[in-house]
């Protein structure tokens, strides 16, 4: 039988490797930014077109490469970061495998311009699908400029799996945030379709966070600093009252490398135990510095997961440090054992000695002797001190008591109460209405109502979601809604990315009844809200809407109005555990069966069930 195993060609092997390294344009952004940082760049510019599908370009002022290194950098497993396998446990750089550029070049058109500081001219290299098209000498400034064009041009199936431009841009911005937060000492700029999205100058860590997430973030941060032999922690956590429904502001950096770790995240949640509302997540921006020999980075293709040598110790230190910071800055209640100066001994009595109190005792006192004999045995001085004053006319205290009691008892028995004449009421009595109610609330979760065939049981939360969903969807579609003007406008602060999301759905929000009086880069001023939205719930509704759009951005085949109506209905629907009056229960039942699709909630969950009399009879067989 002939041999059937053969070696793959290099271009096929590169395309397979690209499947691990490059999932979407954000993966290219991450690899190129990390290469620029490893090149000791102090200024890095990121240019994006059509969410990275057309162009991803990174320009830096780093050390640059020679002509030979530029050619060799696109070969598989060619790297300047390690020399032996032992170097994998002494890593101080971002990239080390030598797979990124080779994988990117296999599935895109790549143009590289690079020059070292001592060279007069640089190198221009053009690669298409792992094939080098040209290599020329070019005049270019110091550093490296690498442009990745037409991603997945030779793998159309992979290109079809890319999401909409909004989704891909959000992933790129997430990667940009992770890299820029880890390196506040580098100047970063980002442009999308010619528009500047971020310009982050060199700054300290706190200022970098504020520049990315808005000026309002500054008052939300609580410093965390701890230095031990095992772990060094620095950074900030967010105050509990500013906790969000999303996990977008949770960042762990280990040796300046962004990681995801559910175990360490649990340590943070444990430190915030009892301080957060249900459904909210704390924000944190923490830098962890550990010995490189105690971690293994080479366990995941994207290097976002790290294996620690002793996770339990890190968990305990991290939890204690965060809890200490929250208590130190009066965020969490703590026991204070500090000395109170008001409890100190007064200055005048500080050096005085303690004197024993003198107590005079009559040792001859006998309570069982008669009073006359007792008087004769003690002196006149002692008699004055211990004599008991007995009233001489004690009988007078009880004079007339019996007669008064008899009189008061007679007066009490002779009291008569006035009563009104009972007349027939025109309207139904509240008690009668209570007895004649057609609905009943069970465990503040279900509404039970009677029907001809048996019994109806509604889930109050899901049913109200369906009612609100169809109401909001009609307002958005018809573009006619009633708005309630606010006496004092509400000003809400968001990050640049969140403001961009609000601008995308601003028109649809206005159709539901929101009135935006002013929208800036960091804040939104609202002067009117829909009638069904309380003013206190406006921030909750918008935060939930932003969260839903970030996690489920509508593609071209999906209606943004539908997503908006779903998000608002989820935020404003009656919650499980909320008590409803009888009229509210009846109104919810009637409103549900006035909907077009009463059987299902907007999220395809059952809203009600029916139990016939026959089914109930079978239960008692």
> Residue 241 above 80 pLDDT?
yes
CA distance 151 to 29: 12
Q: What's residue 205's pLDDT?
A: 93
Residue 177: what pLDDT?
93
Contacts (Cβ under 8 Å, ≥6 apart) of 246: 281, 543, 546, 547, 550, 551
Residue 590 has pLDDT above 50, yes or no: yes
The overall average pLDDT reported for the chain is: 81
In 10 A of CB 139, how many CB atoms? 10
447-503 residue pLDDT tens: 999 888 888 999 999 999 999 999 888 888 776 777 888 888 999 888 877 888 888
pLDDT at 301 over 50: yes
Q: How many CB atoms lie within 10 A of CB 483?
A: 16
Query: String of b and e for 33-71 (b: at least 16 CB within 10 Å)?
Result: bbbbbbbebebbbbbbeebbbebbbbbbbbbbbebeebb
Q: What is the pLDDT of residues 24-51, one digit of tens each?
A: 899 999 989 988 998 889 999 999 999 9
pLDDT at 276 over 60: yes
Q: Which domains does the chain have, with CATH numbers?
A: 10-200 (3.30.565.10), 205-328 (3.30.230.10), 440-610 (3.30.1370.100)
Written as one string, the DSSP assignment of 357-418 is PP----TT--TTS-HHHHHHHS-HHHHHHH-----TTGGGGGTTHHHHHHHHHHHHHT----
Report which of 434, 439, 437, 436 is spatially closest to residue 455, judged by C-alpha positions: 439
195 vs 49: CA distance, rounded Å: 10
Q: What is the predicted pLDDT for the residue at 232?
A: 93
Tell me the pLDDT band of 82, cut-offs 50, 70 and 90: low
Asked which of 127-141, 142-156, 352-366 is least confident by mean pLDDT, the reply is 352-366
What is the percent of the chain with per-residue pLDDT over 70, rounded to a whole number?
77
More confident residue, 411 or 55: 55
Which pTM value belongs to this model? 0.69
Q: Is 367 exposed, middle or buried (0-12, 13-18, 19+ CB in 10 A)?
A: exposed
Q: What is the pLDDT of residue 6?
A: 83
List the 483-493 sheet strands across, edge first: 483-493, 523-530, 515-519
């Amino acid at each position: 039988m002939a041999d059937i195993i053969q070696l793959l060609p290099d271009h096929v092997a590169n395309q397979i490797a690209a499947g691990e390294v490059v999932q979407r344009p954000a993966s290219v952004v991450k690899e190129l930014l990390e290469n620029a940082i490893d090149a000791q760049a102090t200024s890095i510019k990121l240019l994006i077109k059509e969410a990275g599908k057309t162009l991803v370009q990174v320009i830096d002022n780093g050390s640059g490469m020679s002509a030979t290194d530029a050619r060799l950098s696109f070969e598989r497993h060619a790297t300047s970061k390690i020399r032996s396998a032992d170097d994998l446990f002494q890593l101080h750089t971002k990239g080390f495998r030598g797979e990124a550029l080779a994988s990117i070049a296999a599935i895109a058109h790549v143009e590289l311009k690079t020059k070292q500081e001592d060279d007069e001219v640089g190198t221009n290299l053009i690669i298409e699908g792992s094939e080098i098209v040209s290599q020329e000498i070019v005049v270019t400034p110091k550093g490296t400029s690498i442009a990745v064009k037409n991603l997945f041009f030779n793998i159309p199936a992979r290109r079809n799996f890319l999401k909409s431009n909004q989704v891909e841009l959000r992933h790129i911005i997430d990667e940009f945030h992770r890299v820029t937060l880890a390196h506040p000492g580098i100047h970063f700029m980002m442009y999308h379709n010619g528009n500047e999205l971020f310009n982050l100058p060199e700054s300290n860590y706190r200022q970098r966070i504020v520049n990315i997430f808005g000026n309002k973030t500054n008052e939300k941060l609580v410093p965390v600093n701890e230095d031990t032999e095992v772990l060094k922690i620095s950074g900030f956590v967010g105050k509990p009252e500013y906790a969000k429904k999303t996990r977008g502001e949770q960042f762990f950096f280990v040796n300046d490398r962004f990681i995801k770790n559910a175990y360490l995240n649990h340590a943070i949640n444990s430190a915030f135990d009892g301080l957060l509302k249900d459904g909210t997540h704390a924000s944190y921006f923490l830098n962890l510095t550990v010995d490189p020999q105690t971690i293994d980075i080479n366990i995941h293709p994207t290097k976002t997961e790290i294996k620690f040598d002793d996770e339990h110790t890190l968990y305990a230190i991290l939890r204690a440090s965060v809890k200490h910071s929250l208590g130190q800055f009066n965020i969490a209640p703590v026991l204070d054992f500090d000395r109170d100066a008001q409890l100190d001994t007064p200055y005048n009595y500080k050096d005085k000695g303690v004197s024993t109190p003198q107590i005079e005792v009559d040792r001859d006192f006998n309570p069982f002797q008669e009073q006359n004999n007792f008087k004769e045995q003690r002196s006149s001085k002692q008699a004055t001190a211990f004599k008991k004053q007995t009233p001489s006319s004690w009988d007078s205290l009880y004079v007339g008591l019996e007669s008064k009691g008899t009189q008061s008892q007679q007066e009490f028995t002779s009291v008569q109460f006035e009563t009104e004449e009972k007349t027939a009421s025109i309207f139904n009595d509240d008690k009668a209405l209570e007895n004649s109610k057609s609905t009943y609330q069970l465990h503040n979760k279900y509404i039970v109502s009677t029907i001809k065939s048996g019994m109806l049981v509604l889930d109050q939360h899901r049913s109200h979601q369906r009612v609100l969903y169809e109401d909001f969807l009609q307002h958005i579609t018809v573009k006619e809604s009633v708005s309630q003007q606010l006496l004092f406008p509400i000003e809400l602060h968001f990050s640049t990315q969140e403001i961009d999301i609000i601008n995308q759905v601003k028109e649809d929000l206005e159709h539901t009844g929101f009135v935006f009086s002013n929208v800036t880069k960091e804040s939104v001023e609202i002067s009117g809200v829909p009638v069904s939205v309380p003013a206190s719930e406006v921030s909750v509704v918008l935060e939930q809407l932003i969260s839903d759009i970030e996690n489920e951005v509508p593609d071209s085949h999906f209606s943004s109005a539908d997503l908006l109506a779903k998000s608002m209905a989820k935020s404003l629907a009656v919650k499980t555990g909320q008590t409803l009056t009888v009229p509210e229960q009846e109104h919810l039942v009637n409103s549900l069966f006035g909907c077009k699709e009463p059987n299902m909630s907007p999220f395809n969950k059952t809203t009600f069930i029916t139990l016939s009399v026959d089914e109930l009879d079978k239960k008692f067989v």
